[in-house]
Structure 1
Amino acid sequence: MTEPVPPITAPQSRAGRALVGWSISGLAEATNVPASEIERFEAETLRPDANCQRAIRAALEEAGVVFLPEQDGVGAGVRLKFPRQTVKRIQTWEGEGGTTGEDDIA
């Protein structure tokens, strides 16, 4: 059984995409969710089903986005898992070729 995933908000999706430099079509490609559905979700005219929300959240998390819950009077948000300099180094390492291993960075 799939664990419930906290809901993702439209602003979190927009901000997460901005942090990792993805377009709507890039997120659509990463999630297999139609770009038109993501566009309507981010415009707050559609609330995607739980599977679409899980796919969007998982793709953004895989790209390095961390979702911050609303708590203690502070709104929900997003941030990068790593500082930008670390992200650049990881991207360089990943582009060097060779056999890839499991991501063991927590």
Structure 2
Amino acid sequence: MTQPLPPITAPQSRAGRALVGWSVADLAEASGFAAGEIERFEAEADDLPVECPRAIRAALEANGVLFLPEMGGEGIGVRLKFPRQTVRRIQTWEDEGGTPGEDDIA
């Protein structure tokens, strides 16, 4: 059984969206949570279910965002797994339809 993804922070969500060029509506569609819940999470509301930031994380990671843990005195971070051009190509491929394959990129 796989462990659930650790939740992310509101700034990480905003930064991840910015990296892939998503609006709140785009993230809502990809995560399965309503746009209002995404906005409340990113405004740092504390009464949302823990599944909300986990779903946000999963949606962003599936689209090329990598969340970096705090390490060696450096704060948490967000970056793209791939160069921006590769992320755009992946998004284009996924929008073309067909059966998606398993993503084994770590």
Q: TM-score, normalised by structure 2?
A: 0.81
Residue 31 of structure 1 aligns to which amino acid in structure 2? Answer: S
Query: Which residue does the alignment assign to 1:90?
Result: 90
Query: Are the equivalent residues in 1 in contact too, given 2:5–2:58 (CA < 8 A)?
Result: no
Structure 1 gaps of 5+ residues are none
CA distance in 2, matches of 1:2, 1:58: 13
* Structure 1 residue 87, shift from structure 2 partner: 2.3
Q: Which segment is superposed worse, 30-39 or 92-101? A: 92-101
Change (3 A) 1:78 1:96: same
CA distance in 2, matches of 1:5, 1:98: 27
Query: Are the equivalent residues in 2 in contact too, given 1:37–1:46 (CA < 8 A)?
Result: no
CA distance in 2, matches of 1:79, 1:73: 18
CA distance in 2, matches of 1:83, 1:47: 35
Structure 2 gaps of 5+ residues are none
Number of residues paired by the alignment? 106
Q: TM-score, normalised by structure 1?
A: 0.81
Rg larger for? 1
Query: Which residue does the alignment assign to 1:70?
Result: 70
CA distance in 1, matches of 2:38, 2:105: 29
Change (3 A) 1:88 1:73: same
Residue 80 of structure 1 aligns to which amino acid in structure 2? Answer: L
* Structure 1 residue 99, shift from structure 2 partner: 6.0
RMSD of Structure 2 on Structure 1 (CA): 2.3
Pairs within 5 Å for 1:24-43: 24-43=24-43
